[in-house]
């Protein structure tokens, strides 16, 4: 009996080994460049630890403006994305369910349109606005969209780039709710649509909202192609120009930016799963039984 089971045991071990091989290969493919960059950034050729790259960045002070600009763009992108996508998907679920397929197609389009094509289209639009001449409404809009401290053109573009993944997350979260019943119950208690969204809908899909916010922040702070095409000096663009003067500093900044992006994506995934499990646990928890009323004793 034991001999007959040994071949099956060997086959199961072989199957497990073959299952792990693609994951190991992917980990080697992803981690090898990162570890090499990390070694070059913080270690000299003799193996001693160094922070010359970070010191050079801090001494120059040129990183401050691109860093602040990228953080503002990323934060505003997250706010605009959540503030527009959640009400739009809720409205479609409640009052226009036939438009769900159309909204899904529109939100998926950025996946099939290259980022450079989006940047080229934005450049054409901005040139068309600026062609009206100084003092015109088009020129004023152009200057507003390309303001040096906070270029709103990048905020709108990054919101569009985030739609394919964040829409799926928000839509899946809303599909797991009895949204119409929640809305009707909230309206019967006198709550308006804004209150219903803030206090009823968003807390029930907080996992999806957290994932969307962190994903939008990570994409915005690490995007290069569109910012470079529009000649906006964000942190990734500054990183590219820094390589000519301080190569070790550029590698150090690149490693830190990659680690920050990975940390944000990991936080988004963990937060989404943790909040979703908590929401399911709260929904499945039985209500506490009401205390039995005590009989009043009448004095003799």
User: What would the pLDDT profile of 175-184 be if each residue is shown by its tens digit?
Assistant: 888 888 988 8
pLDDT given for residue 158 in this prediction? 95
For residues 220 and 152, give the distance between their C-alpha atoms in angstroms, rounded to a whole number. Answer: 12
Within-domain flag for 108: yes
Summarize pLDDT for 116-158 with one digit per residue, the tens.
888 888 889 888 888 877 878 888 888 889 988 889 999 999 9
* pLDDT at residue 12 tops 80: no
pLDDT given for residue 116 in this prediction? 86
* pLDDT at residue 25 tops 70: yes
Within-domain flag for 74: yes
Q: Which of 70, 82, 119, 116 is nearest to 201 (CA)?
A: 82
For residues 159 and 82, give the distance between their C-alpha atoms in angstroms, rounded to a whole number. Answer: 9
Within-domain flag for 259: yes
Q: How confident is the model at residue 288 (pLDDT cuts 50, 70, 90)?
A: very low
Give the chain's end-to-end CA distance (angstroms, integer): 82
* pLDDT at residue 162 tops 80: yes
User: How far is Cα of residue 174 from the mean position of the Cα atoms in its chain?
Assistant: 18
Tell me the C-alpha to C-alpha distance, in Å, between residue 72 and each of 38, 97, 220.
Answer: 27, 35, 10
CB 268 within 8 A of CB 215: yes
What does the block give as tokens for 53? 């790259």
Within-domain flag for 75: yes
Q: How confident is the model at residue 189 (pLDDT cuts 50, 70, 90)?
A: confident
More confident residue, 232 or 52: 232
More confident residue, 45 or 189: 189
For residues 140 and 136, give the distance between their C-alpha atoms in angstroms, rounded to a whole number. Answer: 6
Within-domain flag for 72: yes
Question: Hunting for tokens 């962190």 — which residue is that?
Answer: 214
Q: How confident is the model at residue 60 (pLDDT cuts 50, 70, 90)?
A: low
Provide the whole-model pTM: 0.78
Q: Indicate the average pLDDT of the chain.
A: 81
Number of structural domains found in the chain:
1
Q: How confident is the model at residue 83 (pLDDT cuts 50, 70, 90)?
A: very high
Within-domain flag for 6: no
Within-domain flag for 289: no
For residues 165 and 206, give the distance between their C-alpha atoms in angstroms, rounded to a whole number. Answer: 16
Tell me the three state secondary structure of residue 81: helix
* pLDDT at residue 206 tops 80: yes
pLDDT, mean of residues 87-96: 92
Count other Cβ atoms within 10 Å, centred on residue 44.
11
Summarize pLDDT for 257-266 with one digit per residue, the tens.
888 888 887 8
How many residues can be counted in the chain? 300
Using a 10 angstrom Cβ sphere, with 0-12 exposed, 13-18 middle and 19 or more buried, the burial of residue 93 is: buried
Domain with 66 in it:
49-276
Summarize pLDDT for 28-40 with one digit per residue, the tens.
888 888 888 888 8
User: How far is Cα of residue 83 from the mean position of the Cα atoms in its chain?
Assistant: 14
Within-domain flag for 10: no
What does the block give as tokens for 165? 């993944």
* pLDDT at residue 109 tops 80: yes
pLDDT given for residue 296 in this prediction? 41
Question: Hunting for tokens 């301080």 — which residue is that?
Answer: 246
* pLDDT at residue 44 tops 90: no
Count other Cβ atoms within 10 Å, centred on residue 222.
19
Residue 62 neighbours by CB under 8 Å, 6+ apart: 238
CB 82 within 8 A of CB 243: no
Residue 200: CATH number of its domain: 1.10.3720.10
More confident residue, 161 or 251: 161
Summarize pLDDT for 221-239 with one digit per residue, the tens.
989 999 999 889 998 998 8
């Amino acid at each position: 009996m034991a001999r007959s089971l040994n071949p099956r045991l060997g086959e199961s071990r072989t199957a497990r080994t073959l299952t792990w091989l693609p994951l190991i290969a992917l980990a080697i493919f992803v981690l090898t460049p990162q570890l090499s960059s990390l070694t070059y950034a913080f270690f000299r050729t003799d193996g001693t630890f160094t922070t010359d790259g970070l010191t050079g960045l801090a001494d120059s002070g040129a990183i401050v403006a691109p860093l602040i600009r990228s953080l503002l763009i990323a934060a505003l992108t997250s706010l605009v994305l959540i503030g527009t996508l959640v009400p739009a998907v809720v409205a479609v679920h409640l009052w226009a369910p036939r438009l769900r397929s159309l909204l899904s197609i529109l939100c998926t389009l950025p996946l099939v349109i290259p980022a450079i094509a989006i940047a080229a289209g934005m450049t054409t639009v901005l040139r068309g606005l600026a062609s009206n001449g100084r003092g015109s409404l088009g020129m004023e809009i152009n200057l507003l969209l390309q303001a040096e401290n906070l270029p709103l053109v990048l905020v709108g573009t990054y919101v569009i780039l985030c739609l394919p993944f964040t829409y799926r997350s928000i839509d899946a979260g809303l599909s797991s709710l009895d949204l119409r019943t929640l809305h009707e119950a909230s309206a019967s208690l006198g709550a308006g649509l804004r209150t219903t969204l803030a206090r009823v809908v968003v807390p029930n899909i907080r996992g999806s909202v957290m994932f969307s916010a962190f994903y939008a922040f990570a994409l915005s702070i690490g995007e290069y192609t569109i910012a470079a095409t529009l000649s906006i000096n964000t942190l990734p663009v500054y990183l590219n120009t820094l390589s000519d003067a301080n190569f070790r500093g550029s590698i150090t900044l690149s490693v830190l930016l990659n680690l920050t992006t990975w940390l944000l994506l990991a936080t988004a995934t963990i937060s989404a799963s943790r909040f979703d499990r908590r929401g399911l646990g709260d929904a499945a928890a039985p209500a506490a039984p009401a205390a039995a009323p005590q009989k009043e004793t009448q004095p003799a």
